[in-house]
Amino acid sequence: MHHPTPSRHARALTTRARSLLAGAAVGALTCGVLSVPLGAAHAADPVLLSQGKTATASSFENADYYKAANAVDGDEGTRWSSTATDGQWLRIDLGATATLSRVELDWENAYADGYKIQVSTDGSTWTDAYATTSSDGGKDTDAVSGSGRYVRVLSTHRATGYGISLYEVRVYGTASGTTDPGDGGSTDPGSGGGTCDTNAALGKPATASSTENGGTPASNAVDGKADTRWSSAASDPQWIQVDLGSSKHVCGVELDWEAAYGKAFQVQTSGDGSAWTTVYQTTNGTGGTQKLAVDGSGRYVRVLGSARGTGYGYSLWELKVLTGDGGTTTPPTGGAVQPADPANPDFGPNVHVFKPTDDKSAVQNTVNDVFSRQETNQFGTERDQLLFLPGTYDLQANIGFYTSISGAGLNPDDVNINGGVWVDAQWFGGNATQNFWRSAENFAVTPSTGQARWAVAQAAPMRRVHVKGALALDSSAYGWASGGYIADSKVDGKVTSYTQQQWYMRDSSVGSWDGALWNQVFSGDQGVPATSFPKPAVTTLPTTGAVREKPYLYWKDGKWAVFVPSLRSGTTGVTWPNTPGSSLSLSSFYLAHASDSAATINAALAQGLNVLFTPGVYHLDQTLNVTRPDTVLLGLGMATIIPENGVVGLKTADVSGIKVAGLLFDQGTTKSHAVIELGDSGKHTDHAGDPQSLQDVFIRVGGVVAGKTDNGIIVNADDTIIDHIWSWRADHGAGAGWTSNTADYGLVVNGDDVNAYGLFVEHYQKYNVLWNGQRGRTIFFQNELPYDPPSAAAWSHDGEVGYAAYKVSDGVTQHEAWGLGSYCVFTTDPSIEVTNGFEVPNAPGVKLHSISTVSLGGQGSYAHVINGTGPRAAGTDTVPATVTSYGG
């Protein structure tokens, strides 16, 4: 997975070989053997324009070692390397418009056989100057024609399984005779004769640490209006940040303070919104209008206040970031993505909003109509969200596929459903093992029978639900079930789980619990049984660890908002009422619809907006790139994203606090490197205080189409919270077959200190989970190995038959996990016996608890539970083979 770094010896050989070749060419010229027409020198000869200029890139294999600047530093021992996906690019700002004649690309071994060279005058609109689909790497010299200030090398197809990597990019041409405003003929930022009068912040995306109220958002400080302002909460520290859209030389900042000003503050710049450089600071701010001379560069500019000049918060009429780059001086009027209206949002036709004053029969009929469409619609395209405004409803709600039922109050008890919310399995003969892709959230239900029913399998979470009675997790026919997940919920009566093969409940409360089959796990719960694994197979932890609850949509006083619960650790039971956290007005969100393009959604993200995905199926031909810290991406009604053309579906930068929740990703037929990738490989930034998180995020490779990917989810960002995922290589449905829906790994964890709560990962062709990071923690893991290996010989490696379901890499020294189960049913070759269900290094800090393997009906077997130890799992009795504790 990791792009190997050449050794110093290998680099020296490469450089020496190039030198020898150059020397041979000179010798051949002096002997008259090699003839090269040089032409007569003249004033307009092409010159090297790119060396030492500003370079940026779409991604980095490792931003510390393989940054974009390495490709224009004149040093053949350094290089830029991208992540391992197509569509990566390197961009060079020549500083002034030039007429181009040729571009030299000095590739490392990881090259692109298909690429384009493009030029632009503004860094936004690009024109192809050269294109090829047949490069053989090494050193390419490409004749180009065109003019512009910016040059971009865009990879269209990688020749290897790695990213693309360039030792040097050399752009040759002739300057136009004029430099762009502000450059003054100098390559030093802030120097020269530029005018430094362009406000680059005007109309750009702005975010802030807090707002005083909904009428004082951060965007007010960059709207060019003298009568609107941003105001913060009355505490220290606070900040406001603007995204300039691209890296710029900043030569001045103007702060137009309201009466509530900053006494002590810093002005900072950043290239990525994460690492900041201070370019101005004071402890004696004057308020009023302050014009500050600064010298720095970056895409992001932040004003960070550490001491207020009054008892109020910080308040700015206007924040101006001054550059000499020229360009527009008015806010964009066309093409800007509009945020949602919190009072009258356009949720589209698939969100059904109910009021307690609505006609009861009309509400019941709508819910019935949704269920009639969705009861058996396992791989269909319909998506539905049922939203209930605060109040009481008399309703019997059956919940089918791709249906989410949610209360829209701030607390679960704000919405009361008298009657029932039900999931059963009559459509499948009482067997609930395929009751996927549905959810219940944020309401109270009083079941008319005294017992609610939630007979589900994977990808069917229940969150923030108050059951005023009992709860059954089995179908009414008591057929098999293969769930499930509950969090932050309260059941006043008894929970019964008789035929559920496994279940995970965390940070909840029950009256009592009865039933455990193969793998029942609790963490941070009240009223649950104590650990008794393996008989009964119960594993109970007193607390969960670092966790925060999923963001959710709610309505209050006529306006919609999204509540974001706070990070916490060491707690038990539910968080409500009065869940700690913060509220985001819907005006800070872009309301996405299935008709939107990836470019539109990315534009919204670039503007600093969060994104709320309304129910539907989104066909996206670009990676969704999330770069702003604390961005929220939230899906309603199992909103489904299909990445096409081999792109990664979602990629986050290595910044803090990004929250992705409630989304289903359906991998497309063109193979991708990954469906989701969080953070940057090898960066290891500490995000412990504000981790990234995945919650109720589901991956599907096959089932609808023959999807293909190397990896389901890659987690590079340290401290990430994975809170309920189902990463599924399909075992049934369309495109399900050993050579059809190919996928190696379901979850790869490269980050350190990653916490995983509720991992459901199934049917991948190599390791379902591969854990490379240090100090990882998993509470609950459910797995089925692939059904369809053609034979033991075809599915063997390094002297072992098959791949362990959960693999902790040999170099890991600290890792701990509780409640792990892997099951096999080899339908193509039942004679396969997997060597190990689990594999971990034998290190004092690596410990696994409550581990089991199960042969389903004798179709295949496990020789050992873990590392060559534990009993064999085989035979038609479907009895788990268990190990209570391993390692440490």
Choice among 61, 258, 382, 784 that is catalytic:
784
The DSSP element (H or E) to which 80 belongs, if any, is: strand 80-81
Give the Cα-Cα-Cα angle 780, 785, 786 (nearest 5 degrees): 145
Give the Cα-Cα-Cα angle 344, 347, 349 (nearest 5 degrees): 125
**Are residues 179 and 131 in contact, defined by beta-carbon separation less than 8 angstroms?**
no
Tokens 């590079």 -> residue: 716
Residues in Cβ contact with 808 at an 8 Å cutoff, skipping those fewer than 6 apart: 771, 776, 815, 839, 840, 841, 846
- Closest Cα to residue 670, out of 639, 703, 708? 708
Distance CA 267, CA 63 (A): 24
Q: Which residues of 417-427 are buried (b: 16+ CB within 10 A; e: fewer)?
A: bebbbbbbbeb
Tokens 């991992």 -> residue: 759
Q: Is 795 helix (H, G, I), strand (E, B) or coil?
A: helix
Distance CA 827, CA 832 (A): 10
Q: What is the DSSP string of 557-581?
A: TTEEEEEEEPPB-S--S---SS-SE
Q: What ranges make up the beta strands (E) of 636-681? A: 640-643, 650-652, 659-666, 672-678
Active-site annotation holds for 816: no
Distance CA 273, CA 466 (A): 40
Q: What are phi and psi of 167, to 5 degrees?
A: -70, -45
Q: What ranges make up the beta strands (E) of 646-784? A: 650-652, 659-666, 672-678, 693-701, 709-715, 721-729, 743-749, 755-762, 769-771, 776-784
Give the Cα-Cα-Cα angle 423, 426, 430 (nearest 5 degrees): 95
Sheet holding 552-556, edge to edge: 552-556, 559-565, 581-585
Please give the structure tokens belonging to residue 879.
């009895």
Distance CA 541, CA 807 (A): 23
Give the Cα-Cα-Cα angle 853, 855, 861 (nearest 5 degrees): 90
Distance CA 512, CA 533 (A): 18
Structure letter (DSSP) for residue 526: B
Q: What ranges make up the beta strands (E) of 193-237? A: 198-199, 206-208, 230-231
- Which residues are known to be catalytic? 784
